[in-house]
Amino acid sequence: MARNPHNRIKYEEDDSEQDERRGWRAWLVTLALAAVALGLGFLVPYMLYLNHEVGARFGQLQWQIPTRVYARPLLLAPGLRMDADTLGTELAAAAYREGDGKAPGTYLHDGSRWVIASRGFNDVGGPVPARRVELRLASGRVGDLQEAGAGAPIEQAPLDPARIATLYGQKQEERRLVRIQDVPDLLVTGLQAVEDRDFAHHHGIDVGGMVRAAWVNLRSGAARQGASTLTQQLARSGLLGIGREQTFTRKGKEILYALLIESRYDKGTILEAYLNQVYLGQRGAQAVHGVAAGAEFWFGRDLKNLSTEQIALLVGIVRGPSYYDPRRHPERARARRDFALGEMHETGLIDDAEYQRALAAPLGISQTPGSLSANRFPAYIDLVRRQLAHDYPADALAGAGLTVMSGMSPSAQAYAEAAVTRALKDLDNDKRPPLESGLVVTDVHNGDVIALVGSRDFARPGFNRALEAKRPVGSLIKPFVNLLALAQPGRWSLASWVDDSPVKVALGRGKTWEPGNSDGRSHGTVRLVDALAHSYNQATVRIGMAVAPERIAALVKTLAGIDAQPNPALILGSLDESPYAMAQLYQFLASGGEIQPLHAVRGVLDAQGNALNRYDKAPAPAQEGDAVAARLITIALQQAVSGGTGRRLVADGLGHLAPAGKTGTSNDGRDSWFAGWTGDHLAVIWMGNDQNQATGLYGATGAMRVWSNIFRNLPSATLKVGDTGLDWAWVVGADSTDASCEGARRFAFVAGQAPPYAPCPLPEPAPIEESGQGGWREWFGFGRDRDETSETPSDEAPTP
């Protein structure tokens, strides 16, 4: 067909336009291909980078787990000194709840009857299973102890201990790792029902949900709604370093991470990681991560003991722990919990009856957050850290996921803190400088440090006076001066006569030392026991010079590692030491003569509960000579309490404990000390002013008040001194006699060393023979024959 000539120009124009269009198409295709190539050139390396990040961070599944420090387990046993207040304090510290005594972590209290359902735990000696026990308290003791329900008697039952501190790493994150098989099924399935119903089937993202969320965000002009799967939530949880801000860039990165995670790991691994990583609350600087820590934080319960309504609340607050905080916003929390219960009911996870019951139930939140305190007892934890420093440097301990089992008794710690607060409140006045205090309480049977207070503001870290305040100990040294004398039973006894007249000691270079008694009086010739009980300085100096300051310095070095200058002033306590060092020294006496190192740490367990190190080894039995000498000093210091410088304790109603104790006061009343012990416990207390100003306090008017306040509340056994290695005799003058003789007093002597018997009237005293007793006595040359020593007791002190 011929072309219409009138259309020629038209066709030529069409061909030109077509050529132009083909040029534009080629340019666009080239540009698109270049963009794709450029995009692939960027995306492929970026995806490889993200894939590496997923493998490095998620693949290792390693979190920084805090090291947790626990108190000692309360060991219930028939005959244990215990009262209702103390048992209640111990249970509260360990986060027990009053209830039916059937669920682990609960107890039933009905009059004198207690039913306690303990939780299993790992101790230094191995795992301790959960059990239900029933006991009765009677006359300040544990009476019957038996299996609850079965009635079978029990010899002892350890209760899981209180958590007293947490040693975090770089991040203040509270977390307890769990395996998915240890998580209640309802929590696993309920989480999916509420947060991600299609979790089992999608590949990391929910496309339909994302389209709906994108439409809402486009209409609002901002990113207001999300459609994140559990995998996406995990990606932005902090585990992979993605922020939580609502931006399209962040969302894109989150999607890529989620796709990569799903391509590399199975659903079980992803879900387990989520359960351990999910953020569930905050307490101060501590972030609570993971469902196990969340259960403890919100409910004070183990994960496996949560009820349906508690599981629903835990799942519900995943959406916003701050917004749905059940302690601050209970109405919001309840609405969110009920929504979660509805989802669980709709998906068939709970039936109608359980749904209605759970809806009607309260939130079930514990009054205070679970035992997540970073460091409630800074002074005690200071000691824990110091004792672990040899085996565990600080950076190896914090955040290492270890368990430290300490010797702290929560009730003893509470009573010690309250005692300091009460005493200082009573003593504070405008005429006295600000007072401070430091103290140590120990178990005399094993050396556990069961309480330690470093300042009057005991909840705040700072200068730890129990460990670091080295102050003049004053008369606290006197029992050890007398201990060395009594180690020579042929020459000294509690009945020995000592001159308490003015004394002058030559110091060399023409200098002399003339110490006087604190009351400004001399008391003539007195019995050794009376000189110690009344803390007479002049008599003590004569005894000390007879046994030699060098031996006193050697003794305190042996017993407590104390370095002292061997000069005459040491006899009256010219020695600066801390309460802890003096507690170590007095532990020798309180333990009955055992060399018993004090320890705050019983052992360290790894993350699986296996013992890595133990520090609670039983001390070696006391040497016979050590035990006898310690008994004699204990008897003397019991008299110091019953009728000497510590007699205020009897007036305070503590005579039934028959405690032994010694007061100490430095010059001008700058330092007030008291060391005293019962059948179970030793407490050493210092009180004074940090600037070393005079306080006007004596040992009996300051530190001893704190001791009294502690033992008015702390259940403790009466101090009973055994007769092993001792003979008792009635004495008048220097001879044994009958009890009916006028002025006769009963004294304890080393066995075989009592003076000879003489009926009334008494003849002249006969010489007394010496016998060695072994132990530390021989370390200082006290096991020698009489002719090997030149010192003899006299009314005049020899020249040093």
In whole angstroms, what is the distance from residue 585 CA to residue 112 CA? 39
Closest CA to 681 of 375, 415, 426: 415
Euclidean distance between CA atoms 288 and 317, whole angstroms: 12
Do residues 97 and 367 touch, judged by C-beta distance below 8 A? Answer: no
Q: For 186, list phi and psi in degrees, rounded to 5.
A: -65, -30
Say which of 371, 409, 411, 475 is annotated catalytic.
475
Distances (CA, A) of 564 to 93, 477, 766: 41, 11, 38
Distance from chain centroid for Cα 450: 9
| Alpha carbon distances (Å) from 557 to 508, 563, 647, 780, 784 | 25, 6, 30, 12, 22
User: What secondary structure letter does DSSP report for 719?
Assistant: P
Tokens of 483: 């201990």
- 134, 174, 195, 343: the active-site residue: 195
Contacts 24+ apart (CB under 8 A), 277-280: 277/63, 277/234, 277/237, 277/238, 277/239, 278/233, 278/237, 278/318, 279/237, 279/238, 279/321, 280/314, 280/317, 280/318, 280/321
Q: Which among 50, 267, 202, 192 is positioned nearest to 210, based on CA atoms?
A: 202
10: tokens are 């038209």
In angstroms, rounded to a whole number, what is the distance separating the alpha carbons of residues 650 and 644? 11
Could you give the residue ranges of the DSSP H alpha helices within 54-118? 84-93
Alpha-carbon gap, residue 131 to 118, rounded angstroms: 5
CA dist 533 and 644 (Å) reads: 5
Task: Please give the structure tokens belonging to residue 564.
Answer: 């002292």
Match 């006991």 to its residue by tokens. 135
602 in Cβ contact with 618 (< 8 Å): no
Cβ atoms of 482 and 543 within 8 Å: the answer is: yes
Structure tokens given for 537: 């300085």
Give the DSSP H or E segment for 163: strand 163-167
Q: Where are the beta strands (DSSP E) in 284-434?
A: 286-289, 403-406
What b/e readout covers 219-236, taking b as 16+ CB neighbours within 10 angstroms?
A: eeeebeebbbbbbbbbbb
Q: How far apart are CA 688 and CA 564, in angstroms?
A: 22
State both tokens at 524. Answer: 């003539």
Q: Tally Cβ neighbours within 10 Å of residue 373.
A: 17
Whether 195 sits among the annotated catalytic residues: the reply is yes
Q: How far is residue 538 from each of residues 499, 519, 691, 704, measured CA to CA in Å? A: 8, 11, 29, 23
CB atoms within 10 A of CB 140: 14
Element (H, E) at 337: helix 330-346
Contact 278, 237 (CB under 8 A): yes
In the numeric block, the tokens 């790792």 are attached to: 177
DSSP string, 516-542: --TTS----EEEHHHHHHTT-HHHHHH
Distance CA 464, CA 438 (A): 8
The SS3 call for residue 347 is: coil
Active site residues: 195, 475
